[in-house]
Amino acid sequence: AGERVDYATFVPDGEPTLDANLGQAITEIRKLGVKVAVISNGTLLWHDEVRSDLAQADWVSIKVDSVEPATWRRINRPARTLNLTTVTDGMKRFARDFGGYLATETMLVRGVNDGSEHVQAVGQFLAALSPACAYLSVPIRPPVMSWVQPPTEEALNCSYQTLAAHVSRVEYLIGY
């Protein structure tokens, strides 16, 4: 239709990095002169092949909801075999080597990861990643688990201020 495409985006309906052909797909799309974005939960970045595949993208967002193992498990419900330290080490290696636009997304859940100490720890970790932008989100769609609720406005504002002390650019993704 003659419209400009900003990015061809791999969006999780499942985790994009589980696709063994992700790197090849990124390469083929880029041959068309289209930038590629990938939104990932980041759990597989400890794999060399996954980091190599994602390194071909122009824009990558990785999810960082917690740096505390029990909280990470409660929010993200990862496979039992995944270890948070392994995951975060992979994120650090990816961030260190990635030449494109790196973003992070942190979803806050009331009473789970929206406390000041918790957000401070996430902010310190994000500072190590040095993303171009750290997005702060809240549950918007009806959650699977009934206990999942968005944080209070006060907690959300405090979290924003805390992350902004660690990362140069923080943006809300909290609704329409």
- What one-letter code names the amino acid at 85? T
Q: Give per-residue pLDDT as tens, 20-67.
A: 999 999 999 999 999 999 999 999 999 999 999 999 999 999 999 999
Distance of CA 63 to the CA centre of its chain: 2
Residue 135 has pLDDT above 90, yes or no: yes
Read off φ and ψ for residue 119, nearest 5 degrees. Answer: -65, -35
Residue 142 above 80 pLDDT? no
* Sign, Cα dihedral of 122, 43, 144, 142: positive
Report whether pLDDT(175) > 80: no
pTM, two decimal places? 0.93
Average pLDDT across the chain, whole number: 94
